């Protein structure tokens, strides 16, 4: 049973149906041995990851920070892969079939994130009414450029079949598109840096950094955000069409955890918790700082960038400051995502590498460029700006989310009409 597909834009409904249809065989799998090689490989990768975590803890510079980054990255990658937490696939399920389950998973992640962040904020900045923002939280400027960034990022999702975090876990599933999308993203990052100064001077510099708790207080902000999420959930349940009831659990926890897909809301729950844990101990969740920083290093090395990127490094969000270190927290976080997703995919039989087609290469590269550009201008992606931003009570997170959905929807419809996108 394969749950990955070639384009990376997977049909969730079909996958669920396939999972349901094979439930009996999965249940039977409890008695019949699973493919041994697959299990051995998955365990070997997991053990390798554990060894890496140990080694980083022993030798790394700021050891606890690096080690915890790798641990949380691994947890995040595992959760993304097991629950198929792909923003684009989830949105497509809704557009095509009015299947609300994936979106309910995202709402769950946001609700957990908002509640958890509020808990942390209360300790770190007891009074939100002053001029200060809670340290390091991703609260960005709300500008026209942010809307453009969201639209571009959404278009990039539709074309390449995923957002950046999903491309990372797909890399672990052997996707043929994701490597090209990530290469394209490097180009997009560099284009983003090149257009930054103009956009900064024309719109970003003068735009407000809006933080809901400043106006509403922590209680008010929490209630308002949860009310919006509840309203959206109600709308989804009212207008959505739940697919036929999926079969009951298989009675075999091993199969439920390692073979079958996790329900989206469980994925959302874990994503929210990992986000809060990362904010509490390290920095807000984000998957683009390392890629952005390395792209910037490359472009600076090639003498492509202006001498100064005005104000870029003074904003909250996925920072792209060039670092000298070989191992960085975000670099290890990314490595953790990909490796753990690889182990999880191996175990579930979802690691299916294929030779990429020309169309996949083209869609990956073009979509990737848009993803990269949107990330630089939006100061983060679906994880860094949308999830970590909305969790932090940042208006920028909500604006980016709305623009991104619009961009995806329009691009997907247009692409389908022209016969370019599936």
Residues within the interface to another protein (CB under 8 A): 123-124, 126, 131-132, 134-136, 280-283
CB-CB contact of 178 with 5 (8 Å): no
Question: Whose Cβ is closer to another protein: residue 271's or residue 282's?
Answer: 282
Cα-trace Rg, the chain: 21
> Which of residues 136 and 215 has its CB atom nearest to another protein in the complex?
136
Instruction: Give 99's contacts (C-beta < 8 A, 6+ positions apart).
Output: 12, 13, 93, 240, 241, 242, 243
Is-contact 264 66, C-beta < 8 A?
no
Report the residue number, 178 or 293, with the smaller CB distance to another protein.
293
Q: For the residues of 58-108, what is the DSSP string, one character each?
A: HH-TTHHHHHHHHHHHHHHHHHHHHHT--HHHHHHHHHHH---HHHHHHHH
Residue closest to 160 by CA, chosen among 386, 361, 356, 4: 361
**Cα distances (Å, whole numbers) of residue 334 to 34, 73, 109, 116, 342:** 30, 6, 20, 23, 12
Bridge partners of 211, per DSSP, are 394
3-state DSSP call for residue 133? coil
Q: Identify the sign of the CA torsion 5, 6, 10, 14.
A: negative
**Token digits of residue 255:** 């199969």
Among 257, 311, 317, 1, residue whose Cα is nearest residue 136: 317
**Nearest approach, Cβ of residue 282 and another protein (Å):** 8
Rounded Cα–Cα distance for residues 100 and 105 (Å): 9
Q: Which two tokens stand for residue 278?
A: 């990362």
Distance of alpha carbon 196 from alpha carbon 190, whole angstroms: 10
Alpha-helical runs (H) found in 173-260: 178-199, 212-239, 253-254
- Please calculate the CA angle 261-178-287 and round it to the nearest 5 degrees: 80
């Amino acid at each position: 049973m394969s749950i990955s597909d070639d384009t990376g834009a997977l049909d969730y409904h079909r996958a669920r149906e396939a999972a349901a249809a094979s439930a009996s065989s999965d249940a039977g799998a409890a008695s019949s041995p699973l493919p041994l090689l697959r299990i051995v490989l998955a365990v070997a990768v997991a053990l390798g990851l554990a060894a890496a975590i140990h080694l980083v803890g022993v030798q790394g510079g700021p050891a606890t920070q690096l080690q915890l980054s790798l641990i949380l990255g691994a947890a995040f990658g595992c959760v993304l892969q097991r629950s198929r937490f792909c923003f684009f696939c989830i949105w497509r399920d809704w557009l095509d079939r009015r299947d609300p389950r994936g979106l309910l998973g995202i709402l769950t992640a946001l609700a957990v994130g908002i509640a958890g962040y509020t808990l942390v904020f209360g300790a770190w900045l007891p009074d939100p009414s002053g001029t200060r923002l809670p340290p390091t939280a991703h609260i960005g400027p709300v500008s026209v450029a942010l809307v453009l960034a969201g639209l571009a990022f959404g278009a990039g999702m539709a074309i390449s079949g995923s957002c950046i975090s999903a491309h990372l876990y797909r890399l672990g599933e052997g996707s043929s598109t994701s490597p090209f999308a990530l290469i394209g993203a490097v180009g997009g990052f560099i284009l983003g840096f090149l257009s930054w100064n103009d956009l900064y001077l024309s719109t970003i510099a003068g735009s407000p950094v809006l933080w809901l708790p400043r106006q509403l207080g922590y209680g008010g902000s929490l209630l308002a955000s949860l009310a919006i999420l509840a309203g959206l959930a109600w709308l989804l349940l009212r207008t959505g069409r739940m697919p036929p009831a999926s079969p009951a659990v298989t009675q075999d926890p091993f199969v439920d955890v390692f073979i079958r897909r996790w329900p989206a809301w469980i994925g959302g729950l874990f994503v929210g918790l990992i986000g809060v844990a990362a904010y509490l101990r390290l920095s807000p969740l984000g998957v683009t700082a390392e890629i952005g920083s390395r792209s910037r290093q490359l472009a600076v090395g090639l003498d492509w960038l202006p001498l100064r990127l005005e104000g870029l490094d003074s904003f909250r969000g996925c920072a792209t400051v060039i670092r000298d270190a070989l191992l960085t927290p975000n670099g290890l976080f990314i490595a953790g995502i990909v490796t753990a997703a690889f182990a999880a995919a191996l175990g579930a039989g979802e690691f299916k590498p294929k030779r990429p087609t020309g169309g996949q290469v083209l869609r990956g590269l073009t979509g990737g460029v848009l993803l990269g550009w949107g990330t630089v201008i939006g100061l983060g992606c679906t994880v860094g700006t949308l999830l970590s931003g909305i969790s932090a009570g940042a208006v920028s997170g909500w604006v980016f989310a709305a623009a991104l959905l619009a961009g995806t929807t329009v691009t997907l419809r247009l692409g389908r009409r022209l016969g370019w996108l599936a």
